[in-house]
Amino acid sequence: MVPTIAALTGADEFFNHQIVNTFAAVATPERAWTEKAWFTLMRKDGSLQAGFGLGKYANRNIVDGFAGVQIGTRQFTVRASRLLDSAPEAMGVGPLGYDVVEPLKAIRLTLAENAAQPLRFELTFHATMPGFFENRDVVIQAGRAASDVIRYHQAGTVSGWIEIEGQRHEVNPDEWFGFRDRSWGVREHVGLDPADLAPTGGHGTTGGNKAGSAFHFNWLVSKIDRADGTSYDLAYYFRDFGGEGPPAFFSGYINESDGRQIPILHLYPEIDYRASDRGAMRGTVTAIIAGKGKSVEERMFEIEVINPEMGFRLLPGMYGEWKGQIHGSYKGEAFLDGETIEDVNNPAKLAETYRWQIRDRPVRIREGANGGYGDMESIILGDYPGVRIV
């Protein structure tokens, strides 16, 4: 083996190289380099929800992931991790499987029988909209690119089955909806920070502990149907680190099913959040887009939670530190873990860490006569215009 060239892989047979190395290497030595897939899959009546995530960390020699379901207030989560070089081209880890059936059209997710939780499933995501990119997410903190990542999301339906504690639930695409995203780049919350880093003098990055400070994060994706059979997507993501002036990061588009992306110039959400667990309940989102000449157009969307008790928590999926585990960290050559949380909405969970707020919240969304479904993620710390705690 030549010391300056990474291992040869099957992918190197194809004419897709972007750097002067094999597909076993990436262009940067940054240890936070990540490729990630995420899915949230929900019944339209709000009675059952599944989550799935897979991450590859080339400069950490790690593949890890999670799979889980929420039924009622109970959440079952399975986590797995392995060394990347144990199977460098396999798109899976432990009992978690990820299979590209048709690029940008269909992805099969599997959770095999396992020792961690009485849960298994086979689910196929079927795209019903194109994939849409968000704005590139770049954060420079103390001279370092703390984040430089691109992400696209996609709406779809779901088919297959889920088995929980021996009870099988058939998944009919007419009764389910879902969203997925794919991202790659330098990402937050990858491995634990070194203990000898200099203080940054603030928390302007996407990572860090924000307890005791003002912080407002909101992410929404959706699929809204018109009577003529076309669809569109209200999609936005913002992080506000104090409430003064524009958000620290903002990406907002109205994405059409023909592939067009209409930029949102300004966004104003007015959302009620439940006091006990900060779960989004209902509200409106006003989006300002460009009109003709100097004019602008105001569009208002109504949002309401489908089931107030539903919202798959992402912290047990290692979106933030959980039981000493975090995305990309070494957990052993072949690691498997999981747990059942009996009541995800217990206020005691939120008292332990504000990051318990982060969930995939199934919502209904309407604009006039048009309607559909969406997924909202949020963190609320402090007081903000438009945020109502009820």
| Pick from 157, 166, 211: nearest CA to 320 | 211
**Beta carbons within 8 Å of 209's beta carbon, 6+ residues apart:** 203
Structure tokens at 19: 């750097």
Kindly tell me if the per-residue pLDDT of 209 is higher than 80: no
Give pLDDT, residue 201. Answer: 54
Mind listing the pLDDT tens digit for each residue in 224-257?
Answer: 999 999 999 999 999 987 667 788 899 999 999 9
In the predicted model, what is the mean pLDDT of residues 102-121? 98
Confidence (pTM): 0.95
CA distance linking residue 1 with residue 385, whole number of Å: 59
**If DSSP codes are grouped into helix, strand and coil, which group holds residue 366?**
strand
Mind listing the pLDDT tens digit for each residue in 70-83?
Answer: 999 999 999 999 99
Q: Read out DSSP for 234-247?
A: EEEEEEESSSSSS-
**Any alpha helices (H) in the chain, and if so which ranges?**
347-352
CA distance linking residue 313 with residue 155, whole number of Å: 20
